[in-house]
């Protein structure tokens, strides 16, 4: 949803922009497939948003950005495009590259990277014959250097590593520093899982200490103790985003949306949300 909001903001001006996704995955996901069925993770996210008719559900689903987000998901589920009101109607979920591509205008471009060879092959197949999209098969951390600044001089950089290796927080902070040095006006969106509260706190202090300018962190904890089937022993209790150069009004929009969204996605009484500034000039 945040990516949709950011891209829509950039599209308010006629001038072209570029979306760069450093860790793109496969583009879209078969929710009946082995991996999706194994984790069932999507049921705790988009599934919960669709399955419910409380005041919170209605309020969130009527937010203009969420409406646009759900329109895109409907486009990827043509069997039930008009009745996508329940999780059971979902067969496919668009990943960040597919979401971004759907929002591009003719003058905009997408550069998406994926290191894993098999995933990169699927990604290239997904965007075959798409002249507005370039697919790379590189280390995502290299892309932050090689792809910046974009020729359009406007854009958003999504950095969302899988967090399968140690040291990802340090690599993200380094990538943000390097990225801002090369493309100071870009919107940088960094995704991270919340498993180790101490590690997350260190990362945010690190980013704040960089004093890069306007930067916020938004977090949604659906549980106090974790419990995701794909998480490590510490448990995945939520996810967060660090956003550098957030579009005007983004923090306020998040602060208005998050209370209801948190109640919808909560797995226990320990669910919480936050939007905080991480430093200024």
DSSP 8-state class, residue 80: S
Helix (H, G, I), strand (E, B) or coil at 123: helix
Q: Label residue 90 by pLDDT band (50, 70, 90).
A: confident
Q: Could you give the CA distance from residue 64 to residue 46 in angstroms, rounded to a whole number?
A: 16
- CB of 59 closer than 8 Å to CB of 23: no
Question: What is the average pLDDT across 111-135?
Answer: 95
For the question of residue 108 being annotated catalytic, the response is no
Active-site hit among 21, 63, 108, 160: 160
Helices and strands (H, E) in the chain, number of each type: 11, 10
> What is the reported pLDDT for 170?
96
DSSP 8-state class, residue 164: -
> What is the reported pLDDT for 246?
98
Total-model pTM: 0.91
Indicate whether 215 pLDDT > 80.
Answer: yes
- Give the relative orientation of helices 2-10 and 96-103 as an angle to the nearest 10 degrees: 30
Q: Is the peptide bond before 227 cis (omega within 30 degrees of 0)?
A: no
Q: Could you give the CA distance from residue 132 to residue 268 in angstroms, rounded to a whole number?
A: 43
- CB of 195 closer than 8 Å to CB of 174: no
Q: Label residue 83 by pLDDT band (50, 70, 90).
A: low
Q: In CATH, what number does 2-28+95-277 get?
A: 3.40.50.150
**Residues of each domain in the chain carrying CATH 3.40.50.150:** 2-28+95-277
Q: What is the CA radius of gyration of the chain?
A: 18
- Summarize pLDDT for 158-181 with one digit per residue, the tens: 999 999 889 999 999 999 999 999
Q: Classify strands 238-244 and 187-194 as parallel, antiparallel or unpaired.
A: antiparallel
Question: What is the average pLDDT across 85-107?
Answer: 88
Q: Could you give the CA distance from residue 210 to residue 212 in angstroms, rounded to a whole number?
A: 5
Q: Label residue 229 by pLDDT band (50, 70, 90).
A: very low
């Amino acid at each position: 949803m945040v990516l949709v909001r950011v891209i829509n903001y950039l599209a308010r001006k006629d001038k072209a922009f570029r979306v760069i996704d450093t860790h793109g995955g496969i583009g879209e996901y078969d929710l009946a497939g082995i991996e999706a069925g194994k984790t069932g993770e999507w049921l705790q996210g988009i599934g919960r948003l669709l399955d419910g008719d409380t005041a919170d559900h209605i309020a969130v689903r009527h937010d203009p950005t969420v409406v646009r987000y759900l329109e895109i998901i409907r486009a990827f589920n043509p069997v039930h495009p008009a009745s996508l009101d329940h999780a059971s109607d979902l067969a496919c979920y668009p990943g960040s590259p597919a979401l971004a591509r759907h929002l591009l205008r003719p003058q905009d471009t997408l550069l998406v990277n994926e290191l894993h060879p098999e995933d990169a092959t699927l990604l290239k197949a997904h965007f075959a014959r798409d002249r507005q999209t370039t697919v790379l098969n590189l280390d995502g951390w290299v892309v932050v250097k090689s792809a910046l600044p974009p020729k359009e001089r406007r854009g958003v950089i999504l950095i969302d590593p899988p967090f399968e290796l140690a040291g990802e927080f340090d690599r993200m902070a380094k990538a943000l520093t390097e990225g801002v040095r090369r493309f100071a006006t870009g919107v940088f969106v960094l995704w991270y899982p919340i498993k180790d509260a101490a590690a997350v706190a260190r990362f945010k202090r690190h980013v704040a200490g960089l004093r890069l300018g306007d930067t916020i962190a938004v977090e949604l904890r659906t549980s106090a103790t974790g419990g995701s089937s794909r998480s490590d022993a510490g448990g995945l209790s939520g996810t967060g985003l660090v956003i550098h150069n957030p579009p005007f009004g983004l923090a306020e929009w998040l602060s208005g949306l998050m209370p209801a969204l948190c109640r919808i996605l909560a797995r226990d009484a320990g669910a919480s949300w936050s939007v905080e500034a991480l430093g200024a000039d």
